[in-house]
Amino acid sequence: MRMQLNRNAGLLLCLSLIFTGSVVRSVRAAAADDPAPIRVDVVRIQQIVDDLKGRLAIPQAVTVSIVESNPLMVSVGPVPGGNFSLAFEAGFAERLSEDQLTAAVAHELGHVWIYTHFPFLQTEQLANEIAMRVVSRDSLVPVYTVMFERARVSGDLNEYLGDPHRPADH
């Protein structure tokens, strides 16, 4: 049972490279009659994406959107033309600090990197390994904590991020 929860939790944190099909809403496109406008700054998230893409040598365009609902909380997927779309659920993104937001983006870009280099090797662990080229393991921990809390599951961080006391395999 615990292993199943761990797998589900990992899947909830973006394993999918399939765009969820949720209704996309950016800050600029929020409805005028919306009682609670989305407070997440899509422009700021796009800046983080663009910075990290450069640092990870990802040439494909990755466009950010804020969605009302995303079962994965944040996900990235291919779009026609060889580019990608990254969709953050507003409620999830709003709970993240700037460092946590950067770590979540790095993780998603890890999936993009894998998809463009070794598409059949998609795993949470490998996406985190790629992410840790540009962010620390410690910055990813609170992202998983928020995700586990929001999904009401528990998980073993070492399963996703590796043992912090074990030397890296480089």
Question: CA end-to-end span of the chain, whole Å?
Answer: 33
Helix (H) or strand (E) holding 84, with range, is: strand 83-89
In a domain, 158, yes or no: no
Q: Is 88 left (phi over 0), alpha (psi -120 to 50) or beta?
A: beta
Q: Mean pLDDT over residues 120-148, rounded?
A: 94
Which stretches within 56-167 are classed as H helix? 90-93, 98-117, 124-131, 137-151, 157-161
pLDDT in tens, 94-131: 999 999 999 999 999 999 999 999 989 999 999 999 99
Domain containing 89 — which CATH number? Answer: 3.30.2010.10
At 71 the three-state DSSP class reads coil
Residue 111's domain comprises: 2-153
pLDDT classification of 29: cutoffs 50, 70, 90: very low
How many domains are contained in the chain? 1
